[in-house]
Amino acid sequence: MIFFRAPKRANAHQTETLFELGSLMRVSALVLLCAVLQVAAQQEIKIDKTADAARVIPISLSGFSGEVLDVLRYDLAVVGFEIVDSSEAQYNVTGSNTGNVEGRLIDRITKTTLLAKRYSAGTRRIEAHALADDIVAGLRRIPGIARTRIAFKGQTGAGTEIYVADYDGANAIPITADGALVAAPCWGLGGKTICYTSYRSGYPDIYTQDMSGKRRVIAKYPGLNTSAAISPDGSRVAMILSKDGTTDLYVCNASDGSNLKRLTKSRDLETTPCWSPDGRTICFVSEARGTASLYLISPDGGPMRRLRTAGAGKPTEPDWSPDGTQIVFTSQWRDFVICVVPAQGGEITTLVNGEDPCWAPNSRTVIFANRKQGKRVLSLLDVPTKRVKDVPKNLAGCSQPSWAR
């Protein structure tokens, strides 16, 4: 969860095609099979009818082993596939990873080969992710997410640092070494920049940092500087500042913090802004006398409009789906609960216990922080089916995840 501070400056203490054909009896059969596979690899996967998003798709895996099998199982499970025996599957995936990863996707009902491909770019892990992405794109009609990245806050003794990892938590590396409290990482355009709050100076200031480690200050005003959110085009940053005596929503240039513009002016507590995918609207939380609601406002200024979230409890941490249709948020009841609401407002859908939700580029999967046995771990939620899978390669004390889009 995001932490907030009074206008007074405070110190830090207060606060991851082709199959091996085998031996064939006749050379002519080998040539014919190679030709069929070459055509299949060049064609888009074609399905007679798109599967219902909320339906779990039964699929089988055979011929794979070790890390490749584990990766395929996970990548498919997090987007609503059920790994079953081949006799129970709608789709069979057969292949090999004795050399490069090779895979064939077959519709078991129609006996149609939908994909036949050999992958040769990178490690076996990357090749397995690529195969999974092709299967997901073909059968779910959504972008594959297996080769995307996440950022998150990780516990390091008494402090925290910002980490970057593959979406499944593999290859996690710290990108800060501040030896202080950090919070609220947010990816910029193309996954090249991360914006976050750090107490490295003893005070909560907002920084942007590229993957080479080059860092610049965006907001270093007296009081609170936090909850930075970079616009979809990468040109502006929305954030919460308390420099004028109350916690309000501001925007500025992402390059250097210039052209600061105050969007709200009230005694209410404004928190956790996010951008619509077209960059024309900011969604944020405004709380007065213990009652919080989601609001919308133009980044160019103007009136704020309350978003109808019937039955939402106390909403916070909104995140707008990349396709523009839904807003996910945390609702504070007795426990923290992940909910979604249509972007135009309406009835909410309660999904699962958790906090800090963030959409994947596919507008289907949400990463969030989950409390287990007294520790925070990162988990992935398949929104249509409400199925949850913990990130398999996880650091203890992970929270506030952000998905590169």
Instruction: Identify the pLDDT of residue 16.
Output: 32
**37: pLDDT strictly greater than 90:** no
Domain count, the chain: 2
37 located within any domain? no
Instruction: Identify the pLDDT of residue 112.
Output: 96
Q: How far is CA 380 from the centre of its chain?
A: 8
Instruction: Identify the pLDDT of residue 36.
Output: 35
36 located within any domain? no
106 located within any domain? yes
Distance separating alpha carbons of residues 240 and 6, to the nearest angstrom: 12
Q: Are residues 154 and 135 in the same domain?
A: no
86 located within any domain? yes
Q: Are residues 319 and 247 in the same domain?
A: yes
Reported as a pLDDT band with limits 50, 70 and 90, residue 348 is very high
Q: Are residues 133 and 183 in the same domain?
A: no
Q: Are residues 166 and 293 in the same domain?
A: yes
Reported as a pLDDT band with limits 50, 70 and 90, residue 35 is very low
- What mean pLDDT is predicted for residues 92-119? 97
271 located within any domain? yes
Distance separating alpha carbons of residues 26 and 375, to the nearest angstrom: 60
Q: Are residues 163 and 286 in the same domain?
A: yes
**320: pLDDT strictly greater than 70:** yes
Which CATH number is 313's domain given? 2.120.10.30
- What mean pLDDT is predicted for residues 170-175? 94
- What mean pLDDT is predicted for residues 116-128? 95
Q: Are residues 208 and 309 in the same domain?
A: yes
Instruction: Identify the pLDDT of residue 49.
Output: 40
**187: pLDDT strictly greater than 60:** yes
- What mean pLDDT is predicted for residues 125-140? 97
One-letter amino acid at 251 equals: V
**41: pLDDT strictly greater than 60:** no
Q: Are residues 102 and 216 in the same domain?
A: no
Instruction: Identify the pLDDT of residue 378.
Output: 96
Q: Is 112 exposed, middle or buried (0-12, 13-18, 19+ CB in 10 A)?
A: middle
34 located within any domain? no
- pTM above the 0.75 mark? yes
Q: Among 98, 116, 139, identify where a domain stops.
A: 139
For β-strands 182-187 and 193-198, DSSP reports them as antiparallel
Which CATH number is 57's domain given? 3.30.160
Instruction: Identify the pLDDT of residue 38.
Output: 42
**224: pLDDT strictly greater than 90:** yes
Instruction: Identify the pLDDT of residue 313.
Output: 85
Distance separating alpha carbons of residues 278 and 265, to the nearest angstrom: 25
Say which range, 86-95, 200-209, 326-335, has the weakest mean pLDDT. 326-335
368 has which bridge partners?
A: 379
The Cβ of residue 239 has, within 10 Å, a number of other Cβ atoms equal to 27
Residue 169, SS3? coil
Any idea how long the chain is? Answer: 405
Instruction: Identify the pLDDT of residue 113.
Output: 97
Give the start-end residues of each E strand in 110-211. 112-118, 149-156, 159-166, 173-174, 182-187, 193-198, 205-210
**51: pLDDT strictly greater than 90:** no
Mean pLDDT of the chain: 88
Distance separating alpha carbons of residues 80 and 291, to the nearest angstrom: 36
**323: pLDDT strictly greater than 70:** yes
Q: Are residues 234 and 88 in the same domain?
A: no
129 located within any domain? yes
Distance separating alpha carbons of residues 301 and 284, to the nearest angstrom: 14
Q: Among 113, 139, 165, identify where a domain stops.
A: 139
**9: pLDDT strictly greater than 60:** no
Say which range, 150-164, 236-250, 356-370, has the weakest mean pLDDT. 150-164
Instruction: Identify the pLDDT of residue 20.
Output: 34
By the 8 A CB rule, do 356 and 332 touch? Answer: no
Q: Are residues 192 and 77 in the same domain?
A: no
Instruction: Identify the pLDDT of residue 393.
Output: 81
**Domain coverage including residue 154:** 149-403
345 located within any domain? yes
Phi, psi at 42, each rounded to 5°: -90, -10
Q: Are residues 76 and 216 in the same domain?
A: no
By the 8 A CB rule, do 93 and 62 touch? Answer: yes
Q: Among 76, 105, 139, identify where a domain stops.
A: 139
**400: pLDDT strictly greater than 50:** yes
Q: Are residues 119 and 189 in the same domain?
A: no
Instruction: Give residue-wise pLDDT tens across range 194-209.
Output: 999 999 999 999 999 9
Instruction: Identify the pLDDT of residue 290.
Output: 81
- Please indicate whether residue 107 or residue 1 has the higher confidence score (pLDDT): 107
Residue 175: closest CA among 219, 148, 215: 215
- Please indicate whether residue 116 or residue 288 has the higher confidence score (pLDDT): 116
Instruction: Give residue-wise pLDDT tens across range 17-33.
Output: 333 323 333 333 333 33
Instruction: Give residue-wise pLDDT tens across range 55-82.
Output: 999 999 999 999 999 999 999 999 999 9
Q: Are residues 81 and 199 in the same domain?
A: no
- What mean pLDDT is predicted for residues 374-397? 90
Instruction: Give residue-wise pLDDT tens across range 263-311.
Output: 999 889 999 999 999 999 999 999 988 899 999 999 999 999 999 998 7
Reported as a pLDDT band with limits 50, 70 and 90, residue 397 is confident
DSSP class of 180: B
Tokens of 109: 């009902």
